[in-house]
Amino acid sequence: MNTNILKTLAFLVLILPAVTFAEVPGEIVAGLQADWAVANYQLTGDAQIKAYEALIERADKAAAENVGSAEILVWNGIIKSAFAGVKGGVGALSYAKQAKQSLEASLDIDDHALDGSAYASLGTLYFKVPGWPLGFGNDKKAVQFLKRALEMNPNGIDPNYFYADYLREKKDFESAEEYLLKAQNAAPRADRPVADSGRQQEISAALADVRKKLQNSRS
């Protein structure tokens, strides 16, 4: 056999294990999704903080190693946005700003990635974060992004819940109830049982609060 062919085959044998076992972006996203759900819904206190810190490190590494993956950037932003909410206080703003950057970068690559999830997360950031001069909060942008998320995924559990959360914040309880019911009736996601279970608990609590406020306003 030709010596050059033998060298080529030997080289392929050396690199094939790395190619075979390297994580592809879809696998990375699935891992980040699953571990975020555990950190967000099943852990509390120091355990939750440590889990989020480890997740952020992984998400940053994944984004650096997979430049051009909108899906990984979306999850990089979701994780940092969620951690900002967990952390609270002045320190949270830094993570909120990092989340915004990642989500905006994902939109530049592919705004349809993960059914437009970046729009829902950005919209939530814009109404949760304080406005100028402390932060970048902006109700007008919040509504713009949240409605865009609904246009792209009208029956999804997350865009309906996030928009309802905004409406609750603005004391539009009747509209909030409408979107919470849509979120509650969203089709379950077979690959995200922990996230769906946790979100449904949030929806139930929000519905109870909204209905109590509606009842008080009518009595």
What is the per-residue pLDDT across 38-85, written as a single tens digit (0 to 9) for each? 999 999 999 999 999 999 999 999 999 999 999 999 999 999 999 999
- 9 and 99 housed in the same domain: yes
Looking at the fold, whether 139 and 160 belong to one and the same domain comes out as: no
Verify that 142 and 179 share a domain, yes or no. no
Total tally of structural domains belonging to the chain: 2
What is the SS3 assignment for 135? coil
Structure tokens at 70: 């909108």
Which of 93, 126, 148 is the last residue before a domain boundary?
148
Identify whether residues 34 and 133 lie together within a single domain. yes
Give the domain range for residue 196.
Answer: 154-214
In terms of domains, do 208 and 167 share one? Answer: yes
- At a CB cut-off of 8 Å and minimum separation 6, what does 81 contact? 95, 96, 99, 103, 121, 124, 125
| 105 and 194 within one domain | no
Q: What is the CATH number of the domain that holds 1?
A: 1.25.40.920
Helix residue ranges, H only, the chain: 3-21, 25-41, 45-65, 70-87, 92-109, 117-128, 139-152, 157-169, 173-184, 193-218
pLDDT digits (tens, 9 = 90+) for 34-43: 999 999 999 9
Of 86, 105, 1, nearest to 47 by C-alpha is 86
**Domain contains 34:** yes
Residues 96, 1 share a domain: yes
DSSP helix/strand/coil, 113: helix
Are the C-beta atoms of 105 and 73 separated by less than 8 Å? yes
The model's pTM: 0.88
